Structure 1
Amino acid sequence: MIHTFAVTKDLKLITDIPLKRLDDSDIKWFWVDFDSPNDEEALLLKTHFDFHPLAIEDCLHFLQRPKLDYYDGYNFFVLHTLNQFSLAPEELDIFVGHNFIVTFHSSPSSEIGMVRKRVIEDKSTINKGVLHIFYSIMDKIVDEYFPSIYKSEDELNEIETNKTNKDLIENVYEIRNQLLKLMRTIFPMRELLYRILNSERVIVPKDERVYFMNIYDHLLRISEMIESNREMTADIRDNYISLNSNRMNTIMKTLTVMTSVFIPLTFIASIYGMNFEYMPELTWQWGYFGVLGVMVSVGSVMLLWFWRKGWFK
């Protein structure tokens, strides 16, 4: 499906007009949105707009890294939106010229839908031109990154308050995996914004530059939140491992003490368990009680020695 928006020189908004009318002399600027286009509609990128074959190839072959390419008369941008369920990146391609903007996305985009609605309902946006539409799209994309970050933070806070959860380590690794997916989307977008702001070939007027700086600040904030959350997951993981190691050491210490006490007792019992005929102690009237006394004494002395060595602290 193709959506068209055109603004005339007398600042009137016209929607859903044929592409041929976009070349009329009374059109000041226009926006064409290729929303989940079929093959015939995608072919218009070449036959009607005559965009560069490499840019068209990037549109048709998913998934490109966020980037900026310069062509005569326009710039080509690859942006990444975020699927809120799978956290997978989804590509959004934008062609920006001095009097036009063309967006191309192979699946429905909620961000584009919100900007389209805003253009129709808020007539003041048509006075701001193509660059403001481009800014609005990027701003919506970045705004949609925040819910996933906040969700990860809430899950981490829940883990912090409920450290006895038996699935704690599995939850921590799941959150780290989510943060890694977010990093793969957001960090390249941050680099792209930096390039836009510092490129001599992308002309951003001073009054519009502050808006793009605001988007860049948001991306920096999101990046810091991701790194902070990853550090927190690493701390929780390390603390969990240390706690388990300490618990295991305590168990091993207890088993070691028990084993150390029973080794000499087992040795004594094994001696008198031998079936030799001539063993003097076997015929002694108090032999049984004597051996038990020796065994109790040996065990008590060893436990006292372990206690003085600090094994029970």
Structure 2
Amino acid sequence: MIRTIAVTSDGHTHKDMPLDELEREDIVWFWTDFSEPTEEEIALLETRFRFHPLAIEDCLQLLQRPKLDHYENVHFFVLHTLQPQTLETDELDLFLSERFLVTFHLRAVPELEDAFAKWSASGDAVRQGPLYALYTVVDKVVDQYFPAVYSIEDALFDMDQRRAGDVTDAIMDRVFDIRSDLLRLRRTIFPMRELVYRIVNSERIQGMGDVRAYFADVHDHLLKLSEMIESNRDMTADIRDSYVSLNANRMNNIMKTLTVITTIFMPLTFLAGIYGMNFSYMPELETRWGYFVALGFMAGIGLSMFWWFKRKGWFD
């Protein structure tokens, strides 16, 4: 589907204007959106708009990294939109010149729908122009990143409130899932931050003027998101390290207990081994109270060693 908003010199906005009429002299600028285009509509990128073949190739080969390319008088942008529930990304391509903004996407993009609706209702479209329309799209795309990051941050905050003993294997599985989600967000947000930085500091995009401040505001949002992602990654690392330390401490306590038990029984096993030997002449075996004396002696050794370990703090 192709839809167009055209702004004429008298300040009027015309929706769904045919592409053949976009060359009229009274049209100041226009915005054309290719939404889930057919093969015939895709061909118009070359036959009608005469965009560079490399840019058209990038439009059709998913998923390109967010970037900015300059082709003569047309600037080509690749943005990544984000689905907050699944964290899946879709590509949104834009062509910008002094006279038009062309958006291209193979899947429906809710953020672009919001931007298109906002722009359609704008009463100051002539002054704003295609560069401000580009800002509107970028701003809507970046705003959609926040719910996903805030959701992860809230989940980590709830985990951080738990006591160390409440950390379970299920929680650790969730922590590793969150780390994976943060990595996916990082692969989207960091390149977008670099892209917007290039827009803010670009000398090749004409007419930035006051619009530069709007893009700088979007860049600030991306910086905030980047810091949140890094902070959340550090928090997951802290939770993971606490869990590992807790398990190591538990294992040390178990090993200490087993060591104490083994050490206590070592001399007892030694005595039992001696009197278990089948020699013909063992005087102690003929003693009437030898069995009870041996048991008492072994009990004394065990209790003495237990008291000694207790005094040394092995059971604290």
The two structures share one fold, judged by TM-score above 0.5: yes
Are the aligned partners of 1:6 and 1:30 in contact in 2 as well (CA < 8 Å)? yes
* Alpha-carbon distance in 1 for matches of 2:298, 2:205: 90
Are the aligned partners of 2:85 and 2:148 in contact in 1 as well (CA < 8 Å)? no
* Alpha-carbon distance in 2 for matches of 1:124, 1:291: 103
Residue in 2 aligned with 1:123?
123
* Alpha-carbon distance in 1 for matches of 2:156, 2:125: 40
Residue in 1 aligned with 2:307?
304
- CA-based RMSD of the aligned residues comes to 1.3
Are the aligned partners of 1:11 and 1:127 in contact in 2 as well (CA < 8 Å)? no
* Alpha-carbon distance in 2 for matches of 1:257, 1:190: 58
Could you tell me how far 1:18 is from its partner in structure 2?
Answer: 1.0
Aligned residues: 313
Secondary structure (helix, strand or coil) at the match of 1:6 reads strand
Query: Which whole-Å deviations, capped at 9, do the CAs of 1:75-115 have from their partners, x for residues lacking one?
Result: 11111111223312211110000010000011000111001
Are the aligned partners of 1:265 and 1:295 in contact in 2 as well (CA < 8 Å)? yes
Residue in 2 aligned with 1:190?
193
Could you tell me how far 1:228 is from its partner in structure 2?
Answer: 0.3
Q: Does 1:143 align with 2:176?
A: no
Question: Which one of the candidate residues 202, 205, 213 is aligned to 2:205?
Answer: 202
Query: Which whole-Å deviations, capped at 9, do the CAs of 1:201-237 have from their partners, x for residues lacking one?
Result: 1235331111001000000000000000000000110
Are the aligned partners of 2:98 and 2:206 in contact in 1 as well (CA < 8 Å)? no
Residue in 1 aligned with 2:278?
275
* Alpha-carbon distance in 2 for matches of 1:115, 1:127: 17
Q: Does 1:176 align with 2:174?
A: no
* Alpha-carbon distance in 2 for matches of 1:32, 1:49: 11
Are the aligned partners of 1:76 and 1:94 in contact in 2 as well (CA < 8 Å)? yes
Residue in 2 aligned with 1:40?
40
Could you tell me how far 1:134 is from its partner in structure 2?
Answer: 0.3
Secondary structure (helix, strand or coil) at the match of 2:104 reads strand
* Alpha-carbon distance in 2 for matches of 1:180, 1:2: 35
Residue in 2 aligned with 1:104?
104
Q: Does 1:215 align with 2:250?
A: no
Are the aligned partners of 2:68 and 2:195 in contact in 1 as well (CA < 8 Å)? yes
Q: Which amino acid aligns with 1:34?
A: F
Secondary structure (helix, strand or coil) at the match of 2:277 reads coil
Q: Does 1:10 align with 2:10?
A: yes
Secondary structure (helix, strand or coil) at the match of 2:210 reads helix
The alignment-based identity, stated in percent, is 54
Could you tell me how far 1:276 is from its partner in structure 2?
Answer: 3.0
Q: Does 1:260 align with 2:263?
A: yes
Q: Which amino acid aligns with 2:195?
A: L
Residue in 2 aligned with 1:224?
227
Query: Which whole-Å deviations, capped at 9, do the CAs of 1:10-63 have from their partners, x for residues lacking one?
Result: 111111121001111111110000001111100000000000101111111111
Question: Which one of the candidate residues 243, 246, 253 is aligned to 1:243?
Answer: 246
Normalised to the residue count of structure 2, the TM-score between the two structures is 0.96
Query: Which whole-Å deviations, capped at 9, do the CAs of 1:220-255 have from their partners, x for residues lacking one?
Result: 000000000000000110011001101110110011
Are the aligned partners of 1:119 and 1:126 in contact in 2 as well (CA < 8 Å)? no
* Alpha-carbon distance in 2 for matches of 1:247, 1:183: 35
* Alpha-carbon distance in 2 for matches of 1:37, 1:127: 30
Q: Which runs of 5+ in 1 are unaligned?
A: none
Are the aligned partners of 2:36 and 2:108 in contact in 1 as well (CA < 8 Å)? yes
Residue in 2 aligned with 1:162?
162
* Alpha-carbon distance in 1 for matches of 2:207, 2:120: 24
* Alpha-carbon distance in 2 for matches of 1:73, 1:124: 25
Query: Which whole-Å deviations, capped at 9, do the CAs of 1:108-156 have from their partners, x for residues lacking one?
Result: 0011100111122332345411111100000001000000000101110
* Alpha-carbon distance in 2 for matches of 1:160, 1:68: 40
Q: Which amino acid aligns with 1:100?
A: F
Could you tell me how far 1:165 is from its partner in structure 2?
Answer: 4.4
Normalised to the residue count of structure 1, the TM-score between the two structures is 0.97
Runs of 4 or more above 6 Å deviation: none
Residue in 1 aligned with 2:92?
92
